[in-house]
Amino acid sequence: MTTSTDCNLSYCAIDFGTSNSAIAVPSTQGMQLVALEDGHATMPTAVFYCTDADDLPPAAQAVPGATNGADLPRCFGRAAVQAYVQGYEGRLMRSMKSILGSALVDQTTDLGHGWGVKYLDIVTGYLRRLRECAQDQAGRAIERAVLGRPVFFVDDDPARDAQAQASLEAAARAVGFTEIAFQYEPIAAAFDYERGAAEEELVLVADIGGGTSDFSVVRVGPQRMARLDRRDDILASHGVHVAGTDFDRRVSLACLMPTLGYGAYGPATPERAALPVPARVYFDLTTWHLINSVYQPARMAELRAMRDWYADPAHHRRLMKVLNERLGHALAGRAEAAKIAVAAGGGTDVELALVEAGLHAPLTQPQAAAALDEDVQRIVDCAGETVRRAGVAADGIGALYFTGGSTGLQLLTARLEAAFPQARAVHGERLSSVATGLGLHAARLYSDRGSPNAGHR
């Protein structure tokens, strides 16, 4: 029988991220991060749908009598990526958060072998897995949740932004949460930072993850921590839909895609000068949720017929190898690894033997800096705009608090630090600060209460 104490603990906090996710639950020691996979407190936001029932990865969760794609056996997180790398039949889905607020959310995507699944059902299945992990660790049913959200799911479109939150809430309700509140992710990170604040100050939180770069100016301090209503302490929040997956795309276009013909020209003729090779296929191959669109039969036939458009036959041959063997996601993974390799400075050499024996693509630090410069500047400008909206001078910011996976990119954090030279640079736990802060907010919101007060809804 569930006691009143159990009821007061039947809540959680979810950081559903573009690249990684985490969840926190209450315990006798306070809010605690859930061990999601192999003891890790974070799990890649990835799902692998298995389409061959006779050859399933060890970690696959089978669903008896599957009648649609949403019921297919699946792997989550690191196991999902591993199933893809090991060559099991199926479809790897990543960056699902980026479809919220887009026209894709209610569309069905092909999984192969005649199976399909709605994008929102993919999000729902992943949230169900997070809830199951939380309930296993907590030892009780969990029906209330605080979910993090970016400042903007969609830039400069309030209607689509509201639609994105509504879609996420619908997915959360579909898995069994009955009471849901939202909190801005950078605000949650500020709560995490505040635990170590010795005095009252203004902190600029830079939450830069896989899909968005969000900033908030928040007044923090020991005397403010216990207050549930912190609206007066939030001076400004602003964000831009540019972050880690965009960096991966830029790196791929600068480093990997040229080996397949991106930026190349076709043959010149006596009648006209050489024309650039059409670029759309390369843009789609570097965007996670569009990669599978390139494998459609009509699209493949069109690209196959373009052999004479390439002055260098090797470019077209490599491109078709990638398409015929569906190597797009593997290349996207290599682009992400290359970005990580140059994050702290230096260069790397991307091995591409899966495309052609002996093929490789070097990436130097100056190349990476040039490729990312435009996106980095947009992020720095967004930070400056956030402070202006707060009505304070740059030197009024006491601390610049970094969280989110993309804050491991040194050239980005260096540019932000240079924009606020008077602020102390503080680096939180890149992948779990937001979940920890959401947990603190959830405890204040739900602890010893029958129902939640209004949060950011």
pLDDT tens, 339-360? Answer: 999 988 889 999 999 999 999 9
**Mean predicted lDDT score pLDDT of the chain:** 90
How far CA 195 is from CA of 14, 191, 222, 223, 437, in Å, comes to: 19, 7, 8, 11, 9
How far CA 298 is from CA of 294, 295, 304, 409, in Å, comes to: 9, 8, 10, 39
How far CA 213 is from CA of 55, 244, 247, 367, in Å, comes to: 40, 9, 12, 22
Average pLDDT, stretch 1-14? 65
Asked if pLDDT for residue 336 goes beyond 60, the answer is yes
- Stronger pLDDT, 227 or 187, i.e. the higher one: 187
The 10s digit of each residue's pLDDT in 69-78 is 888 999 999 9
Which helix (H) or strand (E) segment holds residue 91: the answer is strand 90-94
The pLDDT, as a whole number, for residue 450 is 42
Q: Running DSSP on this structure, what letter comes out for residue 278?
A: P
Protein fold of 4-182+435-446: Nucleotidyltransferase; domain 5 (3.30.420)
| Block residue for tokens 């010149």 | 268
What global pTM score does this model have? 0.82
Give the separation between CA 450 and CA 4, rounded to whole angstroms: 9
Name the band, by pLDDT with cuts 50, 70 and 90, for residue 456.
very low
Average pLDDT, stretch 26-40? 89
Q: For the chain, give the percent of residues with pLDDT over 70.
A: 95
**What are the domain boundaries of the chain?**
4-182+435-446
The 10s digit of each residue's pLDDT in 300-314 is 999 999 999 999 999
Average pLDDT, stretch 399-424? 94
Name the band, by pLDDT with cuts 50, 70 and 90, for residue 87.
confident
The pLDDT, as a whole number, for residue 453 is 41
Name the band, by pLDDT with cuts 50, 70 and 90, for residue 4.
very low
**How big is the chain, counted in residues?**
457
